[in-house]
């Protein structure tokens, strides 16, 4: 079985290493050059594509689109100075809390 944390760590490192790269040679660098609005737009597009694939009951497409969604989400995190560890800490904080209670605590 693949080590999930290791894969996310490697992807996070690749994204960081390409942040200031040549936009003609790196898709990640091109996204950063286009700015946060474009990155956020890609996250939205991939989220919609994932949902549409799920609605069509297409498991393979859900897997593929989910990978795209996670990748673009991680680019957004990097652009905002957020690490996967920040997300994991938030998930750990919520562990054992009812989803309804957690949502209500946000106001």
* Tally of helices (H runs) and strands (E runs) in the chain: 6, 0
Q: Is residue 90 in some structural domain? A: yes
Q: Is residue 6 in some structural domain? A: no
Q: Is residue 11 in some structural domain? A: no
pLDDT in the model for residue 107: 67
> What's the CA gap between 107 and 102, in Å, rounded?
10
Helix (H, G, I), strand (E, B) or coil at 83: coil
pLDDT in the model for residue 100: 72
pLDDT tens string 25-56: 999 999 999 999 999 999 999 999 999 999 99
Contact predicate 85/9, CB 8 Å:
no
pLDDT in the model for residue 104: 73
**Confidence check: pLDDT of 97 > 90:** no
Tell me the whole-structure pTM to 2 decimals.
0.87
Q: Is residue 29 in some structural domain? A: yes
In the chain, the number of structural domains is 1
| Structural domain range at position 93 | 24-105
Q: Is residue 2 in some structural domain? A: no
Q: What is the CATH number of the domain that holds 69?
A: 1.10.287.1080
Picking from 96, 100, 73, 98, the residue whose alpha carbon sits closest to that of residue 86 is: 73
**Confidence check: pLDDT of 103 > 80:** no
């Amino acid at each position: 079985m693949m080590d999930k944390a290791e894969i996310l760590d490697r992807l996070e490192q690749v994204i960081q290493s390409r942040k200031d790269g040549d936009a003609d040679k790196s898709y990640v660098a091109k996204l950063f050059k286009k700015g946060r609005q474009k990155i956020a737009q890609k996250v939205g597009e991939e989220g919609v594509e994932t949902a549409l694939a799920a609605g069509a009951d297409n498991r393979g497409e859900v897997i593929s689109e989910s990978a795209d969604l996670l990748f673009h989400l991680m680019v957004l995190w990097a652009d905002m100075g957020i690490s996967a560890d920040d997300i994991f800490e938030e998930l750990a904080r919520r562990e054992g809390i009812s989803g309804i209670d957690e949502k209500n605590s946000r106001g």
